[in-house]
Chain A
Amino acid sequence: MADQKEKKYSKPLPFIDEEMRPWWEALQRHELYVQKCRDCGDLRFHPRALCTNCLSSRTEWVRCSGRGTVYTFTATYQNQAPGFRESLPYIMAWVELQEGLKMLTNLVECRPEEVKIGMPVEVVYEDVTPQVTLAKFRPAR
C-alpha cells in the first residue's frame, strides 16, 4: 500500500536533512511550527539551528494556529518538472502566517480566479508519501 502511494506521487520531494527533521516530523503529526529564539525572542521560518539575530542555538518550537493570509500568489501554467507538468495550472503562494512569518506553499481547494491577496487561508495537511507531509493552504472556512 505504502509502495503504491509512493509510486503514484511524482512531484519533487524535499531532501530532508537532519537539522530540519523535527519540523517535517511535526507535519506528519499534522502540526505546523515556527521557531523562537530562547535568548532574544526572534521568530524565524524556515527552521534552522541558530538564531539569525543573535546566533544563539537555544531554540523553542512555537505551534502555529495554521491560519494566515495570502501575501502574494501565482497560477503556474508552464512547468517542465515531473508531477507539475501533469497538474497545470497550480497555485503557488506566499502565505503570511498569523505569527507574522511568510512561507511558500500551494493553495488548494480553489481556482486561480478566486484567489485574492489578503484572503484568509487555513492549513491543510497532505500526506503525500509515508515519509512526507506537506502544509498547504485553502480558503479559510
Chain B
Amino acid sequence: MSLSRKACVAGVFEHPTRFAPDKSMFQIMAESARGALEDAGLTIRDVDGLCTTGIGMGGMGIVGFCDYLNLTPNFVDSTAIGGSSFVAHTAHAAAAIAAGLCEVCLVVYGSTAASSRFAIGTGGGGGGGDPCDQFEIPFGPTTVGSYAMVAQRHMHDYGTTSEQLAEIAVTMRLHASMNPVAKYRDPITVEDVLASRIISSPLHLLDCCIISDGGGALVITSAERARDLKKKPVYILGAGETVRHAARGRRDFLEIAAAQSGRLAFERAGVTHSDIDMAMIYDSFTITVLTTLENLGFCKRGEGGAFVTGGRLRYDGELPINTDGGGLSSNHPGMRGIFLVIEATKQLRGECGPRQVRDCRIALVHGTGGALGTRHSGATLILANQ
C-alpha cells in the first residue's frame, strides 16, 4: 500500500515568539494549534488525532496536553526520537489517516528552551538512565561534541574545511535576514564564523544552532477533505525514518540515518533528486547539513564540502535549503522538526515573500534528532503542491 497523495498538510502555523518567559510550553503549543487550524479553516472540534512530544514534557506529556486542550482524540502518537520527531509524526499522521484511524490530525510542538535557560547543546549530554549512557557520561559527552566528532572525521577523510562549513551558516543568516521573525538577522561572513570561539573542535559558536523559545503546529488531513479547505493542499508523497547508533562498536560515523530514511522516502514518493525544488535540512550544526546532503544522495560521500559552497544552497541557488534561516539563525526551541515542515509547506504554497523559491513544486524535508556521532534518528518527507 502506498501512502502517496493520500494525506495533506492542510494548515501550518509557526509561533512568532522567540522569547516567551510569560508563556508555558502548553500555551505555546495551544496557540500554535489554534493558528494552524485557522490556517486550514478548521476548528478544534474537527480534530480527532494528535501527535506531539517535547524536551520539557514528561513521558505522558501528550495526555497532559490533551487535558489542557480538553481533547479526546481517536489517534495519538508521541514518538520521541529527538528533533526529527515531528517529521516522523507527519508521516505517522498520514498513515493513520490513510488507514482510517483518524481524519484531522494535529502535530504540535512548543518549548520555552531559551527562557528556561536549557543548555541544550552543552549541558552534559543529557545522559539518563539508559544502559548505554553509563559508557558515555563519565567522559563529558555533549550534543555539540557528538556532531563535532563527525565533522572532525569528515575533515580528516575528505579534506573538508571550516570555511566550507561556515558557508552554510552564512547562507542560513542570509535567509534569516529575509524572515521578519528570525531571531538573528544581521548578515555574517565566513570570517565571522571562523572568528567565533570554538565550542567543541572543530565547531565554532556560529556553527551551532541558536537557542530560542517557540513552537509550531501542522494540520494533517485526507486529500479528499483537504480539497475543500481554505488553503491549497500540500500532498505527502513519501516518507522514511530510521535510527543510527554505535552499532555494537562498529559505527561508520559518516553514514547517518538520512541514507536509509532518504532512500525510502524517494522510493515511496517516486521522485528523484532532480525533482526537488527546495529542501529543509535540520541544521542543528553546520556539519549536520553537509553530511545530511551527502547521505540523502544530493552529492557523493566526501563531496559535501564543495557542494555547499558557491551559493548553491541560497534561496536563489540550485538547491535552496532552509529558507527561513534555519536553526542556525531563525529559531531552535530545543527541537526543530516542526518548522521544517512548516517552511516547506509555505514555500510550496508560494507564501514566502522575498525568500520565495521560484517555481517551487516539490520539497524535501529531513529531520535529524539526537546526537549524530552517538545515537540519532532521521526522518525524511517529500511534499508536493499538486
A residues sitting closer than 8 Å to B (CB atoms) are 11-17, 19-20, 34, 42-46, 48, 52, 71-81, 83-84, 90, 92-94, 97, 100-106, 112, 117-118, 128, 132, 134, 136
7 residue pairs, one from A and one from B, having the closest CB atoms: A81-B124, A101-B249, A14-B134, A45-B249, A74-B148, A44-B248, A72-B153
Which parts of B102-141 form the interface with A (CB within 8 Å)? 119, 122-125, 127, 129, 131-141
Cβ-closest chain A residue relative to B139: A106
Question: Shortest distance in angstroms between A130's beta carbon and chain B's nearest beta carbon?
Answer: 15
- Would you mind naming 15 contact pairs between A and B with Cβ atoms under 8 Å apart? A14-B137, A15-B133, A17-B131, A20-B134, A46-B246, A72-B153, A75-B201, A76-B199, A78-B199, A79-B124, A81-B142, A92-B140, A100-B249, A117-B152, A136-B139
B45 interface residue (CB < 8 Å to A): no
Cβ-closest chain A residue relative to B131: A17
Pair B149/A94 contact, Cβ less than 8 Å: yes
Q: A42-B248, A103-B249, A118-B156 are in contact. List 17 more A-B contacts (CB 8 A).
A: A11-B138, A20-B134, A34-B249, A73-B149, A74-B148, A76-B145, A78-B200, A80-B119, A81-B124, A81-B140, A84-B140, A92-B139, A92-B140, A94-B373, A104-B136, A105-B139, A117-B152
Interface size class of chain B, counting residues whose CB lies under 8 Å from the partner chain: 35 or more
Question: Shortest distance in angstroms between B219's beta carbon and chain A's nearest beta carbon?
Answer: 38
B300 interface residue (CB < 8 Å to A): no
Question: Shortest distance in angstroms between A12's beta carbon and chain B's nearest beta carbon?
Answer: 5
Q: Which residues of A contact B135 (CB under 8 A)?
A: 14, 46, 103-104
Question: Shortest distance in angstroms between A56's beta carbon and chain B's nearest beta carbon?
Answer: 14
Cβ-closest chain A residue relative to B140: A84
Pair A102/B250 contact, Cβ less than 8 Å: yes
Complex Cα gap A52–B246 (Å): 12
Q: Which residues of A contact B152 (CB under 8 A)?
A: 72-74, 117
Q: Which residues of B contact A20 (CB under 8 A)?
A: 131, 134
Q: Which residues of A contact B136 (CB under 8 A)?
A: 104
Pair A43/B138 contact, Cβ less than 8 Å: no
If A52-B248, A81-B123 touch, does A74 touch B138 (CB 8 Å cutoff)? no
Specify which of B119, B123, B139, B197 is in contact with A104 (CB 8 Å cutoff): B139
Specify which of B125, B148, B250 is in contact with A81 (CB 8 Å cutoff): B125
Chain B 182-201 per-residue mask, 1 if CB under 8 angstroms from chain A, else 0: 00000000000000011111
Q: Give the tally of cross-chain contacts (CB within 8 A).
A: 134
Question: Shortest distance in angstroms between A127's beta carbon and chain B's nearest beta carbon?
Answer: 12
If A16-B134, A48-B131, A71-B153 touch, does A106 touch B140 (CB 8 Å cutoff)? yes
Q: Which residues of B contact A102 (CB under 8 A)?
A: 246, 249-251
Cβ-closest chain A residue relative to B130: A15
Pair B123/A117 contact, Cβ less than 8 Å: no
Specify which of A76, A103, A105, A117 is in contact with B153 (CB 8 Å cutoff): A117
Q: Which residues of A contact B373 (CB under 8 A)?
A: 72, 94
Q: Which residues of B contact A71 (CB under 8 A)?
A: 153, 253
Q: Which residues of B contact A19 (CB under 8 A)?
A: 131
Q: Which residues of A contact B250 (CB under 8 A)?
A: 100-102
B150 interface residue (CB < 8 Å to A): yes
Pair A12/B127 contact, Cβ less than 8 Å: yes
Among A77, A78, A106, the most chain B Cβ lie within 10 Å of the Cβ of A78
Q: Which residues of B contact A77 (CB under 8 A)?
A: 197-201
Question: Shortest distance in angstroms between A36's beta carbon and chain B's nearest beta carbon?
Answer: 11
Complex Cα gap A66–B147 (Å): 26
Question: Shortest distance in angstroms between A96's beta carbon and chain B's nearest beta carbon?
Answer: 9
